[in-house]
Amino acid sequence: MTHVANARRADGRRADQLRPIRFQNHIAPHATGSTLVEWGNTRVICGVTVDESVPRWMKEQGATGGWITSEYSMLPYSTLTRKPRDSSKGRVDGRSTEIQRLIGRAMRSAVDLEKLGSRTVWIDCDVLQADGGTRTAAITGAQVALSLAVKKLMADGKLTASPLLAAVAAVSVGIVDGLPLLDLCYLEDAGAQVDMNLVMTAAGEFIELQGTGEESTFDETQLAAMLALGKAGIQQLLAAQQAALSTT
């Protein structure tokens, strides 16, 4: 796979290289925890707020512990052509619904909901600029924002022990012009024969795999190559998250 790793892309990266990633924490002062994740030219604000109650369905079912849910949106100016707000259409579009459910599932996998207590954690992810990988950036940023929120809840005496189980990160991989690539930008994503998103924990466990052939198919060898790229990328993202949290 050396020849693949050494292949150069339009932006000069190697096939196995992430775009530069940076976290700017505490970007939203009124949130319990927040960060702006800048990942290449993709920028997403992730903010966490906490309600000291649980959803009605949990009360009706007698479910214990807390809940984590998410909302995701792309701001009108995040893309080359203006994207109308969901509120102007009177409904959340299917893509946004799918992504916010994915973010919620990913974050719930990282938390002991019993230790969270009888409260709801809201994770809002707003895309300021989109250049591919907005869902993976949202998940990776949400983990940082959630960690900051838990730190504040503990400092405020609302939690006596951290409910965080393992850090979570997400990255895209794909097949472009026959080559497996890590962390697709928009142009690569648009031209990919295969597009896949990996969501994993720091323990090396999968939370979700979303992969599809775009008018193409892929074999086990290509799948193994994409998984290897993705797992290595996840480790780098987890290290970046840890570094971002160590400076707060």
Residue-wise pLDDT for 71-114, tens only, equals: 999 888 888 888 877 766 666 778 889 999 999 999 999 899 99
What is the model's pTM?
Answer: 0.92
pLDDT digits (tens, 9 = 90+) for 173-184: 999 999 999 999
Neighbours of 20 (CB within 10 A): 11
Give the distance, in angstroms, between the CA of residue 156 and the centroid of all CA atoms in the same chain.
27
Percent of the chain with pLDDT over 70: 94
Q: Which helix (H) or strand (E) holds 50?
A: strand 42-51
What pLDDT does 11 receive?
84
Report CA-CA distances (Å) from 236 to 127, 131, 134, 168: 22, 20, 18, 12
Decide if pLDDT at 186 tops 80. yes
Rounded to whole angstroms, the Cα distance separating 169 from 107 reads: 10
Which burial class, exposed, middle or buried, applies to 5 when counting CB atoms under 10 A from its CB (0-12, 13-18, 19+)?
middle
Look up tokens 């707000």; give the residue: 85
Lowest mean pLDDT among 84-88, 122-126, 240-244: 84-88
Q: In CATH terms, is domain 2-246 a member of 3.30.230.70?
A: yes
What pLDDT does 93 receive?
77
Report CA torsion sign: 8, 9, 13, 18.
Answer: negative
Choose among 149, 137, 20: nearest CA to 72. 137
What pLDDT does 88 receive?
65
Half-sphere exposure of 243 (CA within 13 A, CB side): 10
67-74 and 120-129: which strand pairing?
parallel
What is residue 164's DSSP assignment? B
